[in-house]
Chain A
Amino acid sequence: MSSTRAAPAPPSRRPAPERGRSGADERRLTWRNRLYRFDMRYMPYLMIAPFFLLFLVFGLFPLLFNAVVSLRNYRLDDPTLPYWAGVENFSRLVADEDFWNALYNTFGIFLLSTVPQLLLALLVASLLNRQLRAQTWWRVGVLLPYVTPIVASTMVFSVFFSRDFGMANWVLGLFGIGGADDPIDWRADKMHAWIAIATMVNWKWIGYNALLYLAAMQSIPRDVYEAAAIDGAGQWKQLWRITVPMIQPVVLFTVILSTIGGLQLFTEPMLFDPNAQAATGGPNGEWQTIAQLIYKVGWKDLNLGYAAAMSWALFLIILVVAGLNYVLTNRLSGGRK
């Protein structure tokens, strides 16, 4: 079918090898030629298909289905409600103070984690980029937190930040902050809870980002640094004027990745709560993130329609923030685009 149709077609932009022969030979296409043609034309699609199929099944379909559910009354404990809710779920969202509180928390923790995380990763990477003893050991070492299962590390941090016998309070006590008489209750107010959770996130991701930066740094030619050194640029100036602009694509990549990760934060705030099953993120929602609120609304309050609306709101927020970050980072690091 396709071969007869392809024969009279005008020459395309792409060189088609099987058309090297004259039209008279078309009829004598051997099995081998057909196989070759199949290989050239269809094989690439077939090879890439698994990814798109998986994305279709586990990415696009849930996304669209979620959009449909967000316009529905989908309460597990009350199946009698009318099927469609229209935009009711979304209009309710705008007035829901729990949602705004969770958004506030998410951004607070996001700022406290992403900014120090990427800056520290940059410093660690530039340290690792020098001649060090036991270089491989250090490089593997910084990746260890990333390999640690997130639940395990969060449990340890949760004890670390406990009020009565926590190591964090003990260390701070050595510097005269808090102390045994007046220990910091890390779960009693927003600021302390945010710092504790941001610390967990930073600990886990600094090494990972540092390795990405390191890989990018190693592709910067040495003579650029030599020239800069001759011109009198110090280490600090070299880092900001040469290294950062030259690894800019990787910086953009890490900024977007940590934006997505930071806005979807779930495990850490969940397990930081001693009463984790409630999913309220503290007795007054001190550190309840949006992902946690979605979980609570969906599976604790059993209101899947409203939870779906929240998920879509989160999706849009992430798109906007990631876009903003892209523009900002591009500007800051002297982008060429």
Chain B
Amino acid sequence: MKRSWTHWARTAAVGAVSLVMIAACSGRSTTGGSDAADGQVTLKINFWGDFGLQDLKTKYEAEHKNVKIQLNSGEYNAQHEDLQKKLVAGNGAPDIAAIDEGFMVQFRSQSDKFVNLLDKGAGSYESKYLPWKWKQSLSADGKTQIGLGTDVGGLAMCYRTDLFKAAGLPTERDQVSALWPTWDKFLEVGQQYTGKTKKKFIDAGTNLFNPILGQQQVGFYDDQEKLQMQQGPKVAFDYTVKAVDEGLSANLISFQADWDKGFTSGAFAVLACPAWMLGHIKDTAPGTQGKWDIAAVPGGGGNWGGSFLTIPKQGKNVDEAYKLLEWLVAPEQQIEIFKKVGNLPSQPALYADPAIADFKNPFFNNAPVGQIFPKMAQGLTPQYLGKKNGPTRVAVENVIRRVENKSLKPDAAWNEAVKEADKAAKS
């Protein structure tokens, strides 16, 4: 008996000693890093795609000798998930984190994990921003502002003039806009196009559903966080299923290889196009230069996407981070970014700036994008996005995909969509 006790005690003692040794080795490494004694700071910015920051980084570093900027671009979803994990862990988040409006509700409800920019004097920016953009990153009680807006999407329709011509449709952008004042008319044009060419008109049912839903007064959720499927979603869903049923959709999935291929191969003739999409089309299908043009979106304004810059509270250099953040959203830098990658600023005063107002995009047949998108962004009525907006959207999009791959009958689709949305709301 005694023997076995000492045996255990010995084992435990050795274990404890080793633990202490490991702890001693690893203790310091977490506290090291950016805060050096000579005032040097390294600021890390996490974002996705191209925010047009490369040149701005060089410029800022030249003006501020004590600051080093680390740009960390990643995949869209991965960056948001990573930020969420680091917020839970309480360690490892970047000094400045970009957040897309699609994820904003999720992070806004954790506003205690971000620096309240109102404490830093960001209140003076409220009047400079589009009112709905300012509100999107404001916490529910209105007391905490977690981010300052960078770009807004706006919404228009990009279409292929060569394919429209082949189908006997007008190609001039004003005439095309006049073709589809409403979504009903838009589907009629689609039937004409598909009837004549036997080709698909739109890229995907989901990319019809989302812009239409975005135009409704109420989205998936009302401001009491109640699921409201019978209103906005029903309207958008009916148009979508009709388009899929009539064979107008190429049934592709956004940002996948086949979808990208479709830009070059002409798998579809028209798609919903926010400002940031222009860069994507140009990058994926450089050979189609001059074959694209931009018309108005049916049913009036709309928005798709747009980002914010936030400062997680766990950072060690929040003051320096805020200085950089303020500099990045200043007019000169925002115009610089617009010129470079096409992201439209969210401060309306800039829309009058000739650098934006007179800008024509040569890739899109010299379309006056500096006019088209600001008009959309300003004419927008903001829609409340519920906390469960993301999962609910995925659930309903999946039902649309099932109609597209014919495993679900169109007339059974709506009941299924309601069921799936309910499930997502309760998840």
Can you name the residue of chain A whose Cβ is closest to the Cβ of B3?
A12
Q: How far is the CB of B184 from chain A (nearest CB, A)?
A: 27
CB distance from B191 to the nearest CB of A (A): 24
Give the Cβ gap from A335 to chain B, nearest Cβ, in Å. Answer: 33
B106 CB contact (under 8 Å) in A77, A274, A284 = A77
Among the 9-residue stretches B13-21, B90-98, B336-344, B360-368, the one with 4 or more Cβ atoms under 8 Å from chain A is: B13-21
Taking the complex as formed, is B231 at the interface, i.e. its CB lies under 8 A from any CB of chain A?
no
Q: Mark A160-176, 1 if CB is under 8 A from B, else 0.
A: 00101000000000000
Q: Which residues of A contact B427 (CB under 8 A)?
A: 297, 301, 303
Query: Which residues from B are CB-within-8-Å of A77?
Result: 106, 109-110, 387
In this assembly, does A45 line the interface, its C-beta being within 8 Å of a C-beta of chain B? yes
Stretch in A108-116, A181-189, A217-225 touching the partner? A181-189
Enumerate chain A residues within 8 angstroms of B85, measured Cβ to Cβ: 299
CB <8 Å contact, A46 and B391: no
Whether A49 touches B14, Cβ cut-off 8 Å, given contacts A283-B398, A283-B405, A302-B106, is yes
**Residues of chain B with a CB closer than 8 A to A78's CB:** 109, 387
Contact: B11 with A45, CB < 8 Å? yes
| Residue B350 CB within 8 A of the other chain | no
**Is B196 on the interface with A (CB-CB < 8 A)?**
no
Q: Is A79 an interface residue (CB 8 A)?
A: yes
Chain A residues closer than 8 Å to B14, beta-carbon distance: 42, 45-46, 49
Q: What is the chain A residue whose CB lies nearest that of B75?
A: A277
Please determine whether B22 and A277 come into contact, CB atoms closer than 8 angstroms. no
**Residue from B10, B106, B110, B391 within 8 A of A79 (CB atoms):** B110
Q: Are A299 and B22 in contact (CB under 8 A)?
A: no
Please measure, in the bound complex, the distance between the C-alpha atom of A42 and the C-alpha atom of B22, giving whole angstroms: 18
Distance of A42 Cα from B399 Cα, bound (Å): 63
Residue B88 CB within 8 A of the other chain: yes
Closest to B407 in A: A188
Interface flags for A262-305 (1: CB within 8 Å of B; 0: not) read: 00000000000011011010011000000000000101111110
Q: How far is the CA of A302 from the CA of B103 in the complex (A)?
A: 12
Given contacts A45-B14, A78-B109, A188-B405, contact A300 B253 (CB under 8 A): no
Assess whether A53 is in contact with B398, with CB atoms less than 8 Å apart: no
- Number of B positions contacting A (CB below 8 A): 36
Q: Which of B75-113 contact A (CB under 8 A)?
A: 77, 81, 84-85, 88, 106, 109-110
Complex: chain A residue closest to B398, CB-CB:
A283
The residue from B81, B84, B253, B406 contacting A274, defined by CB atoms under 8 A apart: B253
Expressed in whole angstroms, the minimum distance between the Cβ of A149 and any Cβ of chain B is: 18
B386-408 with Cβ < 8 A to chain A: 387, 390-391, 394, 397-399, 401-402, 405-408
Count of inter-chain pairs, beta carbons less than 8 A: 79
Asked whether any CB of chain A lies closer than 8 Å to the CB of B256, the reply is yes
Per-position 1/0 for B230-266, Cβ under 8 A of A: 0000000000000000000000010011100000000
- B109 partner residues in chain A, CB cutoff 8 A: 77-78
* Chain A proximity of B265: nearest CB distance (Å): 11
**What does the 1/0 interface line of B1-43 toward A look like (CB < 8 Å)?**
0010010001100110011001000000000000000000000
- Are A275 and B10 interface neighbours, CB within 8 A? no
Nearest residue, chain A, Cβ from B206: A275
Q: How far is the CA of A277 from the CA of B398 in the complex (A)?
A: 12
- List the B side residues contacting A45 at CB < 8 Å: 10-11, 14-15
Q: Are B84 and A299 in contact (CB under 8 A)?
A: yes
Q: Is the CB of A187 within 8 A of B405?
A: yes
Interface of B is mostly: helix
Residues 36 to 78 of chain A near chain B (Cβ within 8 Å): 41-42, 45-46, 49-50, 52-53, 76-78
The interface size bin for chain A is 35 or more
Which of B18, B253, B423 is the one whose CB lies under 8 Å from A46?
B18
> Does A76 contact B110, Cβ atoms closer than 8 Å?
yes
Residues of B within 8 A of A280 (CB): 394, 398
Contact B10 A284 (CB under 8 A): no
Q: Which of A5, A9, A76 has the most CB of B within 10 A?
A: A76
In the complex with contacts A45-B11, A76-B88, A77-B109, A50-B18 CB distance below 8 A: yes
Q: With a CB–CB cut-off of 8 A, which chain A residues contact B406?
A: 188
Interface string of A248-274 (1 = CB under 8 A from B): 000000000000000000000000001
B-chain residues with CB within 8 Å of residue A5 when the two chains form the complex: 6
In angstroms, Cα B110 to Cα A80, docked, is 11
User: Within the assembled complex, what's the spacing in Å between the Cα atoms of A45 and B10?
Assistant: 9
Q: Which of the listed residues B77, B391, B394, B399 has the most CB atoms from chain A within 10 Å of its own CB?
A: B394
> B9's closest neighbor in chain A, by CB?
A2
Q: A12 to B3, alpha carbons, bound, how many Å?
A: 9
Q: What's the least CB distance linking B195 to chain A, in Å?
A: 22
Contact with B along A177-197 (1 / 0, CB 8 A): 000000001011100000000
Is A300 a contact partner of B11 (Cβ separation < 8 A)? no
Q: Whole-angstrom distance between the alpha carbons of A305 and B286 in the complex?
A: 47
Least CB distance, A266 to chain B, in whole angstroms: 15
Q: How far is the CB of B196 from chain A (nearest CB, A)?
A: 23
Once A188-B405, A284-B407, A300-B390 are accepted as A-B contacts, the answer to whether A278 and B11 lie under 8 Å apart by CB is no
B10, B84, B257: the one contacting A42 at CB < 8 Å is: B10
Distance in angstroms between the alpha carbons of A300 and B408 in the assembled complex: 25
Q: Contact partner of B18 among A53, A275, A299, CB < 8 A?
A: A53
Known: A53-B15, A283-B402. A277 touches B10 (CB 8 A): no
Our pick among A52, A283, A300 for the contact of B401 (Cβ within 8 Å) is A283
List, in ascending order, chain B residues with CB within 8 A of A297's CB: 427
User: Looking at the complex, which one of A284, A299, A304 makes contact with B398 (CB distance below 8 Å)?
Assistant: A284
Say whether A284 contacts B402, CB under 8 Å.
yes
State how many angstroms separate the Cβ of B104 from the closest Cβ of chain A: 12
Report the Cα distance A5→B3, complex, angstroms: 11
Chain B residue contacts of A164, Cβ below 8 A: 258
Least CB distance, B133 to chain A, in whole angstroms: 22
CA distance A5 to B9 in the complex (A): 14
**Other A-B pairs beyond A274-B258, A302-B84, 8, CB < 8 Å:** A41-B10, A46-B14, A46-B18, A76-B106, A76-B110, A78-B109, A79-B110, A185-B405
A-B complex: 10 closest residue pairs judged by Cβ atoms: A283-B401, A283-B398, A277-B77, A45-B14, A301-B427, A283-B402, A188-B405, A278-B394, A49-B18, A274-B253
Q: Return 5 A-B CB contacts under 8 Å, by A number.
A: A46-B18, A50-B18, A283-B399, A301-B391, A303-B427
A contact set with B: CB distance below 8 Å? 2, 5, 9, 12, 41-42, 45-46, 49-50, 52-53, 76-79, 98, 159, 162, 164, 185, 187-189, 274-275, 277-278, 280, 283-284, 297, 299-304
